């Protein structure tokens, strides 16, 4: 049995449906991220799990117990907010201890638990400081310690790293994952940052328009997106219009402009309009005449470790990511060939282009 289960959970604000029939099962100790753009329903879903928002219909269960209508303060969940919500007049130790005091834990036991929690986030030396005396990363860790010290069955994270600068955010992603693995707390995180969700989650729930459009392991979501939206929201993708010529078990032959491409997928009918999806980093620039397509460099952008090129081809424009290996970059106007391994392409129904 799943540790946390959402069954057909739906939320209406008046006549507006914010979350539509959400079904999600989270295993004990798992780290799951709700990923999507603003307004997709991910934060509303987290708030219903926390008990801050009432469920319009559906059911939420924790460890086999129905908590759909339970009050937030009876669920015993740990929560880290985007703003951290630390008490400015309390020291770090007092902030972390607050939840234990509310549970009337004896003072000696409370002090031991606080000490352990601060050690977990490497803030033992900052116990007597106030939030205003801490950096953003330190305040984030205090909020995490405060949530974990009560030993919650589930830890809920609402965009916990969004207020940090890029470098610190990346460092804290991995520190957060290490802490979660060490403690083993079942965790559900809301984020709009694709790299954040991909790097630290066991599974990712991609949401669009209040619906969970794909629930899978990060690698599967990236390599096998189920919709056009996911292929372009989770990373970048080149999408070329094509038509299925033939399709048999495990393989389809697709006509993309002047190009015939074999794709390791099936389930499409001959004659069906499709989108051929290939990631920019899977494309290779070769000498003109030696690739699947010939093209011309239209634009180039320097990204530090990579060059991003826009290549005009007879099948359509392609974005290509090439490593910055120290060689001179291609100039705009250069003729090039574009190639890619057969297993790197994906097919999506053409109607996804209209729906998105």
Among the listed residues 343, 288, 352, 286, the one whose alpha carbon sits nearest the alpha carbon of residue 320: 286
Same domain, 305 and 261: no
Same domain, 152 and 196: yes
Provide the pLDDT for residue 351. Answer: 66
Same domain, 31 and 160: yes
**Domain membership of residue 52 as a residue range:** 4-229
CATH number, position 257: 2.40.50.100
Burial of 349 (0-12, 13-18, 19+ CB in 10 A): middle
DSSP 42-82: HHHHHHHHHTSS--SEEEEEETTEE-TT--HHHH--EEE-T
Same domain, 34 and 131: yes
Provide the pLDDT for residue 354. Answer: 38
Provide the pLDDT for residue 212. Answer: 97
Provide the pLDDT for residue 323. Answer: 93
Same domain, 279 and 198: no
Provide the pLDDT for residue 84. Answer: 83
Provide the pLDDT for residue 353. Answer: 40
Same domain, 95 and 221: yes
Same domain, 71 and 181: yes
Q: What's the structural domain count of the chain?
A: 3
Same domain, 348 and 302: no
CA distances (Å), 295 to each of 116, 146, 346, in order?
A: 60, 56, 21
Query: Averaged in consecutive runs of 10 residues, what is the pLDDT profile of the chain (356 residues)?
Result: 93 96 97 96 97 97 96 94 89 95 92 94 94 91 93 93 82 88 94 92 97 96 92 93 90 90 87 93 95 95 95 94 92 96 87 44
Provide the pLDDT for residue 356. Answer: 33
Same domain, 129 and 209: yes
């Amino acid at each position: 049995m799943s540790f946390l289960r959402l069954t057909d959970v739906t939320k209406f604000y008046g006549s507006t449906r914010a979350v539509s029939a959400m079904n999600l099962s989270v295993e004990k100790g798992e780290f799951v991220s709700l990923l999507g753009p603003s307004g997709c329903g991910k934060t509303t879903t987290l708030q219903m799990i926390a008990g801050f928002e009432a469920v319009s219909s559906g059911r939420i269960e924790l460890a086999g117990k129905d908590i759909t209508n339970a009050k937030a303060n009876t669920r015993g969940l740990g929560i880290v907010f985007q703003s951290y919500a630390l008490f400015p007049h309390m020291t770090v130790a007092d902030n972390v201890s607050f939840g234990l005091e509310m549970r009337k834990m004896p003072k000696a036991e409370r002090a031991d638990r606080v000490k352990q929690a601060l050690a977990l986030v490497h803030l033992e030396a900052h116990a007597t400081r106030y939030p205003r005396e801490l950096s953003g990363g330190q305040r984030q860790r205090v909020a995490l310690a405060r949530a974990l010290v009560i030993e919650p069955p589930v830890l809920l994270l609402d965009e916990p790293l969004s207020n940090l600068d890029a470098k610190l955010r990346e460092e804290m992603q991995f520190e957060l994952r290490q802490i979660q693995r060490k403690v083993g707390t079942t965790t559900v995180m809301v984020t709009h940052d694709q790299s954040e969700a991909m790097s630290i989650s066991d599974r990712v729930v991609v949401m669009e328009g209040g619906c969970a459009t794909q629930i899978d392991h990060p690698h599967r979501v990236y390599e096998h997106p189920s919709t056009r939206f996911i292929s372009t929201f989770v990373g970048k993708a080149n999408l070329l219009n094509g038509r299925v010529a033939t399709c048999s078990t495990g393989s389809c032959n697709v006509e993309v402009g002047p190009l015939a491409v074999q794709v390791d997928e099936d389930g499409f009918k001959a004659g069906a309009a499709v989108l051929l999806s290939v990631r920019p980093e899977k494309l290779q620039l070769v000498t003109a005449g030696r690739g699947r397509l010939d093209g011309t460099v239209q634009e180039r952008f320097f990204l530090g470790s990579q060059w991003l090129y826009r290549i005009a081809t007879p099948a359509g424009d392609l974005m290509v990511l090439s490593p910055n290996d120290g060689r001179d970059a291609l100039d705009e106007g250069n003729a090039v060939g574009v190639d890619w391994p057969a297993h790197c392409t994906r097919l999506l129904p053409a109607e996804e282009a209209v729906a998105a």
